[in-house]
Every structure is written in C-alpha cells, then in structure tokens.
Amino acid sequence: MKPHTLLITLCLLCLKVSAWQTDSLATLEKIKAVAIAKVRLLPEVREFLKSKEFARDKHSLMIDMVPHDDFKYYVVKMGIDKDFTFLTMQRFCVDPRTMKVYFWDIMADDAGFSTSAIIPLSTWRALRNTPGWKERHTYKNGKLVVLKN
C-alpha cells in the first residue's frame, strides 16, 4: 500500500471513530436528560422545585453518576445549587433499560455504596414518615429495622 493511500485510510478511519464518539456522547446526553425529566415528574420533586425554602438559592436536579460495571443506574441528585456548592437533599436512581425511578435510601446504605438501599418509590413513600426513617436502618422482609450503634 502506498504511503498516501495509508494516510488517507487512517484519516477516514479517524473521522469515522470521531463521528461514532460524537453520536455516543449525544445519545448519553439524551439519556441523561430523560432520566432527569423522569425524576422531575415525581410529585415530591415538583413540590421541592417550587418550594420557597432557601429562596435565595436555586432548587435543581443534576446527574451525579452514570451506569458503569458495578452500578446499573443513573443517579439524579435533587438539591440546592448554592453558588459553587450543590447541597444534596435526596437521591434518585433511574434504570436505563426501563427508565423506572427508584429512591436511594442513603440511611440504609451502611456499606457506603450498595444497591440494597435502592428501593421502589412505593416503599419510600410508605416508610419515609415512619419512626426510624432518619436513623441508620436496614430492611427485613419489606419492613424498616433501625440499626443499633
């Protein structure tokens, strides 16, 4: 193969790879936007975003994490955007295959990073006002169990 033919072939290959990466990034951004939109539809989130609590600061949602080898969800944080700091109030997880939204119960996540604390919204809604919700806890047979120190 002549040197200039090889160079042209390499340039075309680079352009094709670059176009594929651009398409992949565009697709990823679209999926992130859909994940945020799904979380934004939750009544609790809409109420938070409209609330006047911390009125000086912006109430918002942001993608905190995308799926990777050990974790299959998009993580959407709901919180207060305060200048250069984001104060997280709640975390939600969105399954990219179904776009179903789950609640990430960080008080139950005693391992620091596990999927055992990613619970259905119905469970979160049923348990969030029960005694022990704001303490370290776990789940046994669908019931909240407070962990002793």
> Per residue in 32-83, pLDDT tens?
999 999 999 999 999 988 887 766 778 889 999 999 888 899 999 999 988 8
- What pLDDT shows up at residue 81? 86
CA distance 144 to 140: 7
CA dihedral 79, 62, 124, 40 (to 10 degrees): 100
CA distance 56 to 67: 33
Query: Do 110 and 99 touch, CB atoms closer than 8 A?
Result: no
Please, which residues have CB within 8 angstroms of residue 108's CB and are 6 or more apart in sequence? 116, 117, 119, 136, 137, 138, 139
CA distance 93 to 75: 5
Select, from the ranges 68-82, 113-127, 134-148, the one with the highest average predicted confidence (pLDDT). 68-82
pTM of the model: 0.77
